[in-house]
Amino acid sequence: MLNLLNVIGSGSAIFLAFLVITVRRSTNTIANRWLGAFLLELGLFILDDSLAVFGVYKSYPPLIGWFNLPLFALAPSLFLTVSQFVSVGRRFRSRDIWHFVPFLLFFLLSLPFLLSSDAIKLEVLASSYKPMDWSDKILFFMVVVQMVAYLFFSLQKLRKHRKNLENITAAPDEAGLNWLLYFLYGVIGMVMIWFAELFVWPTGADAGWYSIAYFAAVYLLGFFALRQKEVFPFSKNDEEEVRVIMEENTDWVGVRRSLFAAEKLEKLKSHLLEKMETEKPYLDPELNLPGLAHHLKLSVHEMSELVNAGFGENFAQFVNRYRVEESKRLLHSEKHAHLSMVGIAFEAGFNSKTAFNTAFKKLAGMSPTEYKAESAPAGA
């Protein structure tokens, strides 16, 4: 039964790779190709044990060894997946090939065995059921170390993305790639399970408890991978400017020198404030920096400079300040007394209760519920 779960899990990962590349081809296209490559490699690697257990390798010895090749390609494929998701308009660069040097070296070192006779391959297969020798342990330990290192750098990239995202959107949860964060946590869990399988509780030839964990992990990864939305839904004209803004250090906000002369900056500030008060673009939950720039007929970079230098805030802080004030007004309004907190959040321009609560508490110093209770008339 456990061996069967292993087969289903590996097949599901391979099928998921197909879905991500084909069904999601219009969303985050290049990133999903890398994600598909990672899932395909993962599926083939999980399949290796099952082919041995069910006797497929004994019937078809030439297959032995080929399904282990993705070992050193898994980590860089995952890292490039994350790099693509968090970068605007990123393309494959020649230096990205360096990430696959360990994989190429492993392939070259494995080539003599891959091309060896069936008898030699069957002999090696028979010895694989015995406890690992020191060379195997070193090999697999190197794979684990590589995966841990790439996972660390992937999480760092994602953390930086989530921080810089506040420069271009007031709803970072939507483009904050929460699903990718959970995806990485799932991969971390699989690495820990695999490490335990190799060095703590070896299971030998038969699939052990880890097959259940792998099976569950693959479907968990699939759930998150298929829920994704377009991260940067911008026009080609806006992409380059957004990319520059995303790569800037957010610690410079309010400190760096403005591109505008003082007189022009004050004029643009007045114009922006008038727009925010009269047209209330912040009520649009999809509002982002390019969208607000189009309202004022400015370039994306000019809009960023106006908010940062003119108000000493990033885009999310600037817009959410208006949304919080709007939600306060709604909380005091008898006309909107029938609305729940979620209703208030949506009416004020927030796209989720979580984003509403976080912004409100940060700016008002208390939760919306506490604010409503404090501001309620005595005896009410």
Residue 174 has pLDDT above 70, yes or no: no
Name the β-bridge partners of 288: 169
What are the DSSP calls for 155-192, one per residue? Answer: HHHHHHHHHHGGGTBS-HHHHTTHHHHHHHHHHHHHHH
Question: Of 171-180, 208-217, 245-254, which range is least confident?
Answer: 245-254
Best mean pLDDT range from 71-80, 138-147, 249-258 = 71-80
> What integer pLDDT is reported at residue 235 of this predicted model?
63
Average pLDDT, the chain: 83
Interacting residues of 344 by C-beta distance below 8 A, sequence separation 6+:
327, 330, 331, 336, 356, 368
Q: Could you identify the residue written with the tokens 């060896």?
A: 116
258 vs 239, which has greater pLDDT? 239
Tell the burial category of 279 from Cβ atoms under 10 Å away from its Cβ (0-12, 13-18, 19+): exposed
Q: Three-class SS of residue 74? A: helix
Side-chain-side CA neighbours of residue 116 (13 Å):
16
Residues 209-240: b if buried by 16+ CB within 10 A, e if exposed: ebbbbbbebbebbbebbeebeebbebeeebee
Structure confidence at residue 355 as a pLDDT band (50, 70, 90): confident
Question: Of 219-223, 252-256, 376-380, which range is least confident?
Answer: 252-256
| Percent of the chain at pLDDT exceeding 90 | 31
- φ/ψ of 72, rounded to 5, equals -95, 5
What are the DSSP calls for 299-349, one per residue? Answer: -HHHHHHHHHHHHSS-HHHHHHHHHHHHHHHHHH-GGGTT--HHHHHHHTT
Interacting residues of 242 by C-beta distance below 8 A, sequence separation 6+:
88, 168, 232, 234, 289, 290, 300
Structure confidence at residue 258 as a pLDDT band (50, 70, 90): low
Mean pLDDT value of segment 340-345:
92
| Percent of the chain at pLDDT exceeding 70 | 84
Residue 25 has pLDDT above 80, yes or no: no
Rounded CA separation 336/341 (Å): 11
For residue 289, give the nearest of 261, 312, 267, 319 by alpha carbon.
319
Residue 131 has pLDDT above 70, yes or no: no
Rounded CA separation 113/134 (Å): 19
Structure confidence at residue 1 as a pLDDT band (50, 70, 90): low
Per residue in 220-230, pLDDT (tens digit) is: 888 877 777 66
296 vs 53, which has greater pLDDT? 296
> What integer pLDDT is reported at residue 255 of this predicted model?
45
Rounded CA separation 181/221 (Å): 11
Q: Could you identify the residue written with the tokens 């097959």?
A: 211
Helices (H), 23-86: 29-53, 56-59, 74-85
Per residue in 260-285, pLDDT (tens digit) is: 788 888 999 999 999 999 999 999 98
- 379 — alpha (psi -120 to 50), left (phi > 0) or beta? left
Mean pLDDT value of segment 111-126:
89
Residue 40 has pLDDT above 90, yes or no: yes
Mean pLDDT value of segment 41-69:
87
> What integer pLDDT is reported at residue 254 of this predicted model?
47
Residue 108 has pLDDT above 50, yes or no: yes
Tell the burial category of 174 from Cβ atoms under 10 Å away from its Cβ (0-12, 13-18, 19+): buried
Q: How many CB atoms lie within 10 A of CB 98?
A: 10
> What integer pLDDT is reported at residue 219 of this predicted model?
84
Is residue 204 within 8 A of residue 46, CB to CB? The reply is: no
Residue 168 has pLDDT above 70, yes or no: yes
Mean pLDDT value of segment 186-215:
73
Give the global pTM.
0.79
Mean pLDDT value of segment 134-154:
88
- Supply angle C-alpha 202, 204, 215, rounded to 5: 75
> What integer pLDDT is reported at residue 252 of this predicted model?
47
Is residue 74 within 8 A of residue 229, CB to CB? The reply is: no
Mean pLDDT value of segment 35-39:
92
Mean pLDDT value of segment 308-324:
92
> What integer pLDDT is reported at residue 194 of this predicted model?
80
Question: Of 6-20, 254-268, 278-292, which range is least confident?
Answer: 254-268
> What integer pLDDT is reported at residue 350 of this predicted model?
92
| Ordered structural domains, the chain, with CATH | 2-225 (1.20.1070), 236-375 (1.10.10.60)
Side-chain-side CA neighbours of residue 149 (13 Å):
9
Distance of alpha carbon 53 from its chain centroid, rounded?
Answer: 35
Mean pLDDT value of segment 325-338:
90
